[in-house]
Structure 1
Amino acid sequence: MKPALLLLLAWLSLASARGQKAVNNLAAADGLSLDTSICMVDSAIVAFPDLLAQLDRAPRAHNFWIRTLLRNTSDSTLVLSLGYGGVDYIDIWVDSIHLAGGNMRRTPAGSTYLQRQAGVLPLRLSPHSSNTLTVRIRQRTDEYNFDGLTLYDGASLNAAFVHNLPADNSFVIIQMLFQGFMICQLIYMFLQWLIVRRKEYLYYFLYMVVLALYFLSKQEQLFGVDILFTRWPPLKVYLSKTLLLLANFLYFRFIRAFLEIPRDYPRLNRWMIGIEQFLLVYAVVDLIFIVSTFNRPVQTQLYSVISGILFLFSIGFMIYMYRRQKTLVFYIISGSLFVATGHILGLVFSYLEVNRHIDLGVPDIFVFPQAGIVLEVLFFTAGLSYKSRLTEQEKLSSQQRLIEQLKANELLQLRMQHIRNKIAQDLHDDIGSTLSSISILSELALREKSSSQTMETMNEIKDSSLMLMDRMDDIVWSISPRNDSLENLLIRIRHFATTLFEAKGIDYTIDIQKNIHEVQLPMDHRQHIYLILKEAINNLVKYSDATQALLEVRFDREHLTLCVRDNGRGFDAGASFTGNGISGMRRRAEGMNARVAIASVPGQGTTIRLEVDIGAKIR
């Protein structure tokens, strides 16, 4: 049989007004003849144009039937293929043999690769046989493509398939490249999650899985391999919008985690959580709606409106994040912009072509969302590299800070050891010697027989005890962390000075510069300063015979200056002193790298000035 394309129903449009019979002058030469064809909508006989009109008006409301008689007048079995366009369910009976196909069913078993690719049903007619061909068409959705039935032999089917390849070849290559790109990205993200174990990588991996499934549902038949949606075709309808909604939900989750929005932008985070919850609920409701109604137009309209609102929100979110002027934010938000734009363009072009019947010359609307996804993945990969570099830099900085902290802790330990040694020395020198004196005086009091001598000794014990208590109070006060500020130190000095000056009847002035509370002092500095001033005030009260005294405190962000001045009898500052007072002040000043200057002239008073470097100790 020579190759030919046999049209079963194209000639029905040329039939008589009754639409029941027509002359077929193509079948005889090929061994196939056609007899009277009958078209029915449910149980009503109609002409073929009326069948198409009814199908166009209410595709889901009726069953559409076509019946004709096929005769194989040749001596060989005719191996044919029945093309039916694109409908949800089609059932054919050739006498007692039943075959089922359609967009919502798998290709029948026994179909060749070419038949699966072309979406046709296999048909065999025995030699010298008459066969009644009965066709039933049913629609569950409003999306179909049907202009009539077409019979092909092997050569004509191949010719028709090859004829369509030049227009679709580039599209098939693009889809294969895109799916390969998605698989590579999936493997990469899965490995990233296994290594890093951070939730944002898991969210992004799941987001890519959902997107890959969505596009697989649209183009799986192109690859000629039964994977998922060709095995269970209803999933293409059930999961179409649900997969997109889940992808949006996972992408919002990824954005929140990757950009650490809960930590840096808590108010925005609450808005995004609300949108995520809405998307999740909407995905469930959408799935229930489409499974129960199969009303794709209503589903698409509602999805388009919500997608438009979500796109506007996303634009506002992107502008808000762009204003943060952070490099990592730029990478991720730019990728999000490409995804959102590609998705919206796909919806707009689909609406113009399907609803407005405007031919925009676009090979396929999926090119827009797919291009957006590819660009988003590239920006995400760049952002991931940038974040990895930031993480590495932060790790190095953390290590450096740890090293510095260890050094600081070591210095602090040394300093604390020094302070402990100093306290131990003070306790040994002052407290220990005083306690020894009290012990000796106590023994003398026990041996003395005269009551007057005993009372004198007891008074000495009392004075030593009071001095010991005072010294112990100074040590406890100096090591208390509550007294770290210079302000607390000066309050104690003021109290000590006013008590002595008023008891001695000395007219005094205490002048302390404002904002002194800004100065923080180490414990050893605080103790040294307090004891130096205490010694200076004690000497002033005991030995100067002064009538006026001045205590002055100044600081200039670099130096702290404390001055005690009187108008007493003075002394020769150049002379040597046998006591421990002045030498002790100088020793304590050296212990904190400070400078103490004593200026005195007999008959002209005394000035003791202490200068302490405090530039590194201001809060």
Structure 2
Amino acid sequence: MKILIWGLLFFLQVPIFAQEITLSDTLNEIPLNLNCWTFQDKKHLYSAKDISSQQFEKNFQKNDSFIPNFGYGTANIWLKIAVKNQSSKRWFLEIDNPRINHLSFFLTKNNHIIFHSKTGDYQPFNSYSIADRNIFFDLKNLEKSANYIIYLQANSSEDLKFPITFWEEHKLYQHLANRNLIWGIYFGFILLISLYNFFLWLTIRDKTYIFYVFYALTFGLLQADLYGYGFQYLWSNSFINDRGVIVFMFGSNLFMIYFLRNFWNLKKHLPNWHQFSTYVSWFIIFLISISTLFYRWYSNIIGIIILVFLVLWFFYVNIKLAILRQKTAYFSLLAFSALMLASFCVILKNFGVLSAENQDYYLMIGSMIEMVLFSLALGDKFRQEQLEKERQQYLRDEIAANLHDDLAASLSSLTMFSESNRRKAQKELSPNELIFTKISEKSRDILNLVRENVWEMNPRNDESDEWLDRIIKFTTETLESKQITVNLKIDEHLRNFILPIDYRRDFYLFIKEAVNNMAKHSEADLVNMEIQLHHQSIHLTIKDNGKGFDTSILSNGNGLLNFQNRANRLKAKFDINSKIGQGTTLNLTFKV
């Protein structure tokens, strides 16, 4: 890369040796380009007095990069810049790197230090000469028609690069206003995306959306930390500023994992990778915890290596899903491609492989493309789910109508036919009376089951509270027919609670199984049933004062199988407590 730059400079006849920076009234912006010399003090041996002496001149090397970039390390970096002032305007020197921990500015004239200033993010933000994320030095001490040497001494636990520009005062404030406007639009965009998906989550209650909100916010905090706005507006604290990059980088990846697990439905399509993602998320949580306690300059390199692994893993799983023709994978593949390209460019710029010009905007543009594509994908996911709901509702209408019109009618006819023949056989004292009686009873039972299923399948009952009345009616009629007193305590909030059909059916059948068992086997004369709603969770307790039983014997047989199957379908916590002579208690808790 450097060979290409040098060849281009030679072809364009651009000066390739460090020259003096000349401030004149005809200019209002002067980038540093190649016009400086550099020295790395790896053992921190030299002072400003040593560096500025004529004897030390030979130790400086000509800068060969438009933006001096020293990557990660612990060395003291010295920059030497020759300046000639031929302007009557006020000038400022800007270093567009808000993550330098320690920076000292020395202005020398005739080998004497005439002005010295210290700054960096280890200094309070209110000590900055200009209230901005970047570092500025006011060159008001420059006399017209005089020559100066500026020395900059810096060290940092972050990537150490020096995008330096000399600004005329009015042009500087115009530049700051334009730059802050761009970043304001970007952070506003992230907030808008977050609010959009948050309100979708409030409406749909799909975890995919809330995980994406957390991802967008943590990525926004990562950008704020990387480019100084967190230090300027939020924490103004070097402890958070240093560790924030690692914490927010891992945090955004953690929420991205949880988001993608749901968005891609990994548990269904790639169960092994779903399990692997669980281990990765635990590892990231561990890294976040460690990063807050232990931080060194090489933590950034370790974090970047892990980030590269995560990005490549995301990309690999994405391609596998695309091969399986998952529609969501196509959106995410495009989104990841934009962000991955931007991330790798920034990493290469941090390590000095690529020049660091306009580094701020790579992740900005890449993340905006990614967030737009993922938001479109989430919108499409919501639309597909609505279409699927409509399709299922249509099928339920059709099935309910067919069950009611055909099967229920046929069973009604069979019941009437068997009842008619039973009465006829009874009058004739025929031995077939018992057969027709059993047919009639079974027909009624089947007809009742069909009617229950027709009620469950009918979409018009989805928002009805009749399911609660059916539970109360069945429990009361079944137990009272066995001379068992029933005490019911039902949370009135359940009347306005919409229980989805899959939960509703399994919950009803669980209660039905429990009530039937108590009616047949408990020998109780009192049953207490309580159903409570608390924070989207339903808690059921059924307790009798019957003879009880030995639960160890039950656990070894098939007695618990139906209960356990229903509880598993509800993803519920279920337990049964009983002792001989002390009755039985069933507890079931599930979240909707």
Normalization by structure 1: what TM-score?
Answer: 0.49
Larger relative contact order (CA 8 Å, sep ≥ 6): 2
Aligned position for 2:193? 185
**CA deviation vs aligned residue, 1:315-367 (integer Å, no higher than 9, x gap):** 3211210022132332234323332333233323433xx2x4x54xx632344
Q: Which residue of 1 aligns with 2:136?
A: 119
Q: 1:81 Cα shift? A: 7.6
Residue correspondence of structure 1 range 103-252 to structure 2 within 5 A: 103-109=121-127, 111-112=129-130, 119-120=136-137, 139-141=155-157, 143-144=159-160, 159=168, 162=171, 174-220=182-228, 226-228=232-234, 231-252=236-257
Partner residue of 1:403? Answer: 397
- 1:52–1:81 Cα change, 3 Å: farther
Residue from 423, 427, 434 that aligns with 1:472: 434
SS in 2 for 1:239: helix
Aligned partner of 2:339 in structure 1 is: 339
User: 1:352-406 CA distances to partner (integer Å, 9 max, x unpaired)?
Assistant: xx2x4x54xx632344433332222222222222222212212222322332343
Distance in 2 separating the partners of 1:53 and 1:212: 42
What amino acid is the match of 2:213? F
1:299 corresponds in structure 2 to: 299
Amino acid of the structure 1 residue aligned with 2:414: I
Shift of 1:201: 1.0
Alignment-derived partner of residue 102 in structure 2:
89
TM-score w.r.t. the length of structure 2 is: 0.51
The amino acid across from 1:119 in the alignment is: F
Counterpart selection for 2:279 from 269, 274, 277: 274
Change (3 A) 1:3 1:338: closer
Question: C-alpha displacement at 1:200, in angstroms?
Answer: 1.2
8 Å Cα contact 2:261-2:274 kept in structure 1:
yes
- Check conservation: 1:207, 1:251, Cα contact below 8 A: yes
CA positional deviation for 1:136: 11
Whole-Å Cα distance in 2 between the matches of residues 159 and 233 of structure 1?
30
RMSD over aligned Cα atoms: 5.0
> CA distance change for structure 1 residues 62 and 212 in 2, over 3 Å: closer, same or farther?
closer
Shift of 1:83: 7.8
Render the CA deviation track for 1:152-211: whole Å, top value 9, x for unaligned.
xxxxx7527838988x99876654443332232123223222333321111101111111
Q: Which of 418, 425, 449 is equivalent to 1:423? A: 418
CA positional deviation for 1:303: 2.7
Counterpart Cα distance in 2 of 1:232 and 1:368: 26
1:352-391 aligned within 5 A:
354=352, 356=353, 359=355, 363-391=357-385
Identical-pair percentage: 13
User: Residues 144 and 268 of structure 1: is their aligned pair in 2 closer, same or farther, counting only changes over 3 Å?
Assistant: closer
What is the Cα deviation at residue 281 of structure 1?
Answer: 1.9
In the alignment, is the contact (CA less than 8 A) between 1:91 and 1:98 conserved in 2? yes
**Cα gap change, 1:266/1:164 in structure 2, threshold over 3 Å: closer, same or farther?**
same
Q: CA deviation at 1:472?
A: 2.8
Aligned to 1:154: none
Assess, with a 3 A threshold, how the Cα gap between structure 1 residues 139 and 339 changes in structure 2: closer, same or farther.
Answer: closer
Aligned partners of 2:337, 2:72: CA distance in 1, in Å?
40
| 1:101 matched residue in structure 2 | 119
Distance 1:415 1:316, change over 3 A: same
How far, CA to CA, are the matches of 2:409 and 2:163 in structure 1?
94
Write the distance in 2 (CA, Å) between the matches of 1:262 and 1:338.
26
Deviations 1:478-524 (A, max 9, x none): 9769xx9xxxxxxxxxxxxxxxxxxxxxxxxxxxxxxxxxxxxxxxx
Counterpart code for 2:136: G
Change (3 A) 1:121 1:91: farther
Indicate which of 244, 261, 264 corresponds to 1:259: 264
- The 8 Å contact of residues 245 and 283 in structure 1, kept in 2 or not, is answered as yes
Please give the alpha-carbon distance, in whole angstroms, between the structure 1 residues aligned to 2:163 and 2:265: 55
Q: Indicate if the aligned counterparts of 2:339 and 2:366 stay in contact, CA closer than 8 A.
A: yes
Query: Aligned in 2, Cα 1:141/1:383: closer, same or farther, shift over 3 Å?
Result: closer
Query: Any conservation in 2 of the 1:346–1:369 contact (CA below 8 Å)?
Result: yes
Tell whether the 8 Å contact from 1:99 to 1:121 is kept in structure 2 after alignment: no
SS at match of 2:233: coil
Taking the aligned partners of 2:161 and 2:202, their CA distance within structure 1 comes to: 46
Residue matched to 1:283: 288
2:128 touches 2:136 (CA, 8 Å); kept in 1? no
Q: Is the 8 A contact 1:246 1:283 kept in 2?
A: yes
Q: Separation in 1 of the partners of 2:76 and 2:347?
A: 30
Which amino acid is the alignment partner of residue 348 of structure 1? L
Q: Which amino acid aligns with 1:401?
A: L
* CA pair 91-337 structure 1, distance change in 2 beyond 3 A: closer
Seen in structure 2, the aligned counterparts of structure 1 residues 81 and 107 have a Cα distance that, compared at 3 Å, is: farther
Q: Could you tell me which residue of structure 1 aligns to residue 320 of structure 2?
A: 320
* 2:120/2:135 contact within 8 Å kept: no
Whole-Å separation in 2 of the counterparts to 1:58 and 1:299: 10
The 1-side partners of 2:234 and 2:58 are apart by 32
Return the alpha-carbon distance in structure 2 between the equivalents of residues 146 and 363 of structure 1: 10
From the superposition, tell whether residues 339 and 233 of structure 1 become closer, same or farther in structure 2 (CA, over 3 Å). same
Instruction: Give the distance between the partners of 2:174 and 2:318, measured in 1 at CA.
Output: 42
Distance in 2 between residues matched to 1:117 and 1:268, nearest whole Å: 43
The one-letter code matched in structure 2 to 1:88 is N
Letter in 2 for 1:178: Y
Q: CA separation in 2, counterparts of 1:301 and 1:183?
A: 30
The amino acid of 1:271's aligned partner reads F
Amino acid at match of 1:279: I
User: 2 CA distance for matches of 1:210 and 1:374?
Assistant: 14
